[in-house]
Amino acid sequence: MLYQRLFAACLLLVCLCLGFVAWGYQAPFSYEPVGPRAYPLMLLILLALGALILLAKPNLESSESDEPPLNRAMLIKAAVCLGLMLALAALFERLGFIPVSILFALGMARLFGGRWLASGALALILGVGLYFLFDRLLEVPLPLGVLSALEI
């Protein structure tokens, strides 16, 4: 429980620092209707709310014996998760948002024990759904990459 509170306090501090930086961000041009700082601020607010909840009640649905040990298997999962995030960042422009999001969601779902069929369906819905949410509804241009021939 101490580690959860320590993590939540560090996360809250990071959110506050990044929020301060993001608040003052002004782009020389804006091609998005909500502006360049809205998306990072929304994410930071959600992360900060989660950190506050975890700081106040770190064991909402678990007991202290439910916390997984920090062993070799857990460190491997953390390394795979970090690798998936780095791959997402590295391949985002080249492959495009939809394929990279599908691969990332599939990898994360499998990492947390999801079955192949359910993980694949969720990843497909998530990748395509988030693309249409951001690109069509919020008018935030996202790269299509290898799927650029499908652009209307």
Block residue for tokens 């990492």: 111
What token pair was written down for 119? 């993980």
Whole-model pTM: value is 0.62
pLDDT at 118: 93
Q: Where are the domains of the chain?
A: 1-67, 69-152
Per-residue buried b or exposed e for 91-114, using 16+ beta carbons within 10 Å of the residue's own CB: ebeebbbbbbbbbbbbbbbeeeeb
pLDDT higher than threshold 90 for residue 119: yes
Model confidence pLDDT, tens digit, residues 7-35 = 888 888 988 888 888 777 766 665 656 66
Least confident of 29-38, 79-88, 140-149: 29-38
